[in-house]
Every structure is written in C-alpha cells, then in structure tokens.
Chain A
Amino acid sequence: MTAPPPDDCLARNDWICGDYLSTRRQILLDAVAQHIQLTVISVALGLLIAVPLALLARRRRWTVGPVLGITTVIYTIPSLAMFSLLLPFYGLSATLVVVGLALYSLTLLVRNLLAGLDGVPAEAKEAARGMGYGPLRQLLTVELPLAVPAAMAGLRIATVSAVALTTVGAIVGYGGLGNLIYAGMNAFFKAQVLTASVLCVIIAVVLDLLLLGAERLLTPWRRASRQARPRGRAVAGVKRLVAAPGRRT
C-alpha cells in the first residue's frame, strides 16, 4: 500500500504556494543572484563601451550616422536570434547571455548619451569656454553632468529591459529566474513559474528605483527647478517617452 498523496499546495499545483517558497528557498536565491549578476554585468559592459563610442561620435560628426545605423540594426534583431547568432562564438555559456544583453544596452545608452550631449545648451558651453575651460575640463565638468538626466533615462530603460530579457537566456541554460520559468513550464509547475515571474518584476522595479535615486543624487540642481515648474515637467515626460524605443523581446 502506498500512502495517499499529501494534500498540500505543492501536490495540488496551486499558483501561490508558501511551501514552495520554504522548500525551494536556496534554488530561488541562487536564481535571483544569477539573474542580478547577468543583468548588472551586461549593462555595465554596455555602458563601458557606450561612453567612449558616444564621445567619439561627438568628436567626429561623420561617425554619428553609422553608429546610429548599426545600433538600430542590432536593436531590431530579436533576442532569441541574437543569442543564437552568438552561439558559435561563446557556446552554451553565461558569456553569451552577457554579450547579447550588453549589445542591446549599448544601443539604448549610445542614443541617449548622444541626445543628452546634444541637449547641452550652447550658452553653458560658451560660458565654460569664456571662463578658460579646456575641452577636457569642459566635457567633464559641464557637458557630462548636464547630459546625466538623458543618460540616466537610457540607463534605466536598458536595465529594466535587461532584467526582462535575461529570462530568454534560459535557452542556453543561463537565464537566472528564466531557468526556473523554463523548467516550470516543462513540469507544468505553476507555483514555480508565477514566483519566478513575480521576482523578475520585483528585481526590475528595485533596480529602476535605485537608479532613480542615483539620478537624484547626481543632479541636485534639478530638484529645485522641478518644484518651481511642475507643469513643464509633465510635458517633458511625454516628450521623453516618444523618444523611448520599443521594448525588445
């Protein structure tokens, strides 16, 4: 005689299951850690390449067209295809996922950095020159700080998109929480799929809020003007969204 199956939420395959959280705690924590690691490393790598690229495009204006063209092409390629195209170079590895995600982040960051640098008022640059600032000092102390809001908007979109896209890395076995979603799909394990999905959204929201906080700290001068002109802000919000590209899937 076999014992009757236990009547708990795992056996019933409920969507929400406390037992799942307590029994799979370590698996969940490992997946969250991998997810955050893949996201942060890839966005950091994208930023590391995007800044010099944007500065180069600024110096040599003729490079702007090709840079924007290539980034548009990269951004158009679907994620599953992107990871697959990288397969011959990196095999089934975490590097493959990081490189793929970094390429997407790169495109978002370059565009926003260029928009930010182009948006620096000519008066600010003339004032800096008039005060005897050299090109490097002007870049570091005037242009880059004034480009921070646009750059941070790009960084936030890139980070949130990367968190969502990391799940697709499950196809090569490195998808963080995506691995749990993939395995949960094959096993029809509802609690695992829902828990992992919710954790993905939580990670994205937390990272977005952290970056928002960093932006506030980096641009103290904007807080005062924000309170002074609440109406202008709403319009700016709409404008910024039009400039934001579609999501990548």
Chain B
Amino acid sequence: MNTLSAVWTWLTTGANWAGENGVWHRLEQHVVLTFACLVISALIALPIALTLGHLGRGGALAVNLANVGRAVPTFAVLVLLLLTPIGRYGQWPTIIALVLFAIPPLLTNAYVGMREVDQDVVRAARGMGMTGMQLVWRVEVPLAFPLVLTGIRIAAVQLVATATLAALVGGGGLGRIITAGFNLASTPQVVAGAVLVAVFALLMEAAFELAQRCAPGWARGRAG
C-alpha cells in the first residue's frame, strides 16, 4: 500500500508532468511516433496486400510473415538497428523497427480479407462488366474492410507497445519514464510510468473497439 500511495504522489505532482522529461512531452512523443509509424506501415502494407489479395497470389508470404516475425525479438531488432550506420540518424532506427513489426498484421489481415470475399459476388461483379479497378474499389475493398480494420487495430495497439520498448535504446515516449525510474532506482516512478503506458495502450484498444461498434454494419462484418 506504501508503494501505491507513492505512485499516486508521483502521478499527482505537477513537476513530473512538465518540462522535457515530463509526462506531457513523453506522451506527445509516444502519440506522434505511434501514428507516424502506423501511417507509414499502412502505406507500405495495404497496397501490397490489396494487390496480392486481388490477384490471389503470394498467399504463403502474406500468411507466414506474421508467424516468422514472432520469433524475432523486437528488442534485438531495435539494438541491431541502433548499432548499424542507421543508428546515427536519431529516431530512424526506432521508426524502422516499429514499421517492420507493424507490417505483418496489416498485410495478413488485409490479404485474408480480400481472399475471403465471396467468389459469387466477384463473379457477379465481373458479369456486370466491372473492370479490375472497379471490382477492387467497389466490391472487394468494402467487403474486406472489417478485416483491414482489424489489422489496423492490432498494428496500432502493438505500435504503442513497441514504442515503449524504444525507450530502452534511447528513443522517446512514455517508456522513458520507466527506464529513468529504473536508473533512479525509484519504484514509484517505474510503476507510475507503467500505469501511464498501460492506460494508453488500453485506451487505444478501447477506441478501436468503440469505433468498430459504432461503425455501420458493412464496416463491422464478422469482426465486430
């Protein structure tokens, strides 16, 4: 209980929220890093997934990427990138690592979503004289949308977690509060930082849950 009150004291001390190492600045870094990497990885993964899904090729690649990636520790990749020449360019090792790990869930879910579109519907659309592009944008993508959204949700929650780890290799974000706490041997600060990170991750998950529940039926599909 002693720790709990010390954590509460840390969280309610205004000085801990202000300034370069304060919570607000770290939160801002965390949010910017998460969303920037989400956008970059979506721009890379979704066009590939939609193309492969439409053509029905590269299924093994799209499906196995996530499983293979699981065996590679994120921490190891962060440190390896830091020690390469890329490491000299500030935030880039972190951004590259985050994007690399966000691509598999986006790619796999979007690909599977495209492949699971009812083939009768696709044939009907072709019979109506739709071109390839019309088929993709008017039929396949809307029907695959729930799974695409699921992929984005998984990637976003995971990016929050990976951005936390970036603190171990000197990146910014809320993880820095935890690592600084360890360096100061301050358990209250470590726990306070962890609470902030956990709340942020849960809020991200909850936001997507809410968005999927409130979305129109076609966007929810089986995923909602």
Q: What is the distance, in angstroms, from A203's C-beta to the closest C-beta of chain B?
A: 9
- Within the complex, what minimum Cβ distance (angstroms) separates A224 from chain B? 24
Stretch at the interface among B44-52, B125-133, B157-165: B157-165
Give the distance to chain B from A84, nearest Cβ to Cβ, in Å. 4
The reply on B18 being an interface residue by CB < 8 A is: no
How many A-B pairs fall under 8 Å by CB? 158
Q: How far is the CB of B140 from chain A (nearest CB, A)?
A: 16
Cα–Cα, bound, A185→B194 (Å)? 23
How many residues belonging to B are interface residues under a CB distance threshold of 8 Å? Answer: 54
A:178-203 near B, CB below 8 Å: 178, 181-182, 184-185, 188, 190, 193-194, 196-197, 200-201
Cross-chain contact A200 with B73 (CB below 8 angstroms):
yes
Does the CB pair A84–B158 fall under 8 Å? no
Per-residue 0/1 for B93-125: is the Cβ within 8 Å of any A Cβ (1 yes, 0 no)?
000000001001100110010010000000000
A87 to chain B, nearest CB (A): 5
- Whether the pair A249, B165 counts as a contact (CB closer than 8 A) is yes
Is A80 a contact of B202 with CB atoms below 8 Å?
no
Contacts of A163 in B (CB 8 A): 71, 73
A81 at the interface (CB under 8 A from B): yes
Cβ contact of B80, chosen from A72, A73, A194, cutoff 8 A: A194
Given the interface contacts A188-B83, A194-B80, does A241 sit within 8 Å of B190 by beta carbon? no
A165 interface residue per 8 A CB criterion: yes
Within 8 A of A (CB), among B16-48: none
Cα-based distance from A72 to B206 in the complex (angstroms): 11
Which of A16-24, A54-62, A132-140, A166-174 lies at the interface? A166-174
Nearest chain A CB to B54 CB, angstrom units: 16
- CA of A208 to CA of B80, assembled, Å: 24
Residue of B82, B178, B181, B190 near A185 (CB, 8 A) is B82
Judge whether A84 and B178 touch: CB under 8 Å: yes
Task: Give Cα A237 to B62, complex, Å.
Answer: 12
Which of A85, A168, A201, A238 interacts with B59 by CB under 8 Å? A238
Judge whether A124 is part of the interface by a CB distance below 8 angstroms. Answer: no
User: Which chain B residues border A165 with CB–CB below 8 Å?
Assistant: 73
| Interface size class of chain A, counting residues whose CB lies under 8 Å from the partner chain | 35 or more
Contact with A along B161-178 (1 / 0, CB 8 A): 110110111000001001
Instruction: Select one of A85, A87, A157 contacting B198, CB under 8 A.
Output: A85
B 51-82 binary contact with A (CB < 8 Å = 1; else 0)? 00000000100010011011111111101101
For this complex, 22 residue pairs linking A to B, each with C-beta atoms less than 8 Å apart, are: A73-B202, A76-B157, A78-B161, A78-B162, A78-B164, A80-B164, A80-B175, A88-B191, A164-B70, A167-B76, A190-B83, A193-B79, A197-B79, A200-B72, A200-B76, A201-B71, A205-B71, A238-B59, A247-B158, A248-B161, A249-B74, A249-B161
> What is the interface of chain A, defined by CB distance below 8 A to chain B?
72-73, 76-82, 84-85, 87-88, 157, 160-161, 163-165, 167-168, 170-171, 178, 181-182, 184-185, 188, 190, 193-194, 196-197, 200-201, 204-205, 208, 237-238, 241-242, 244-249
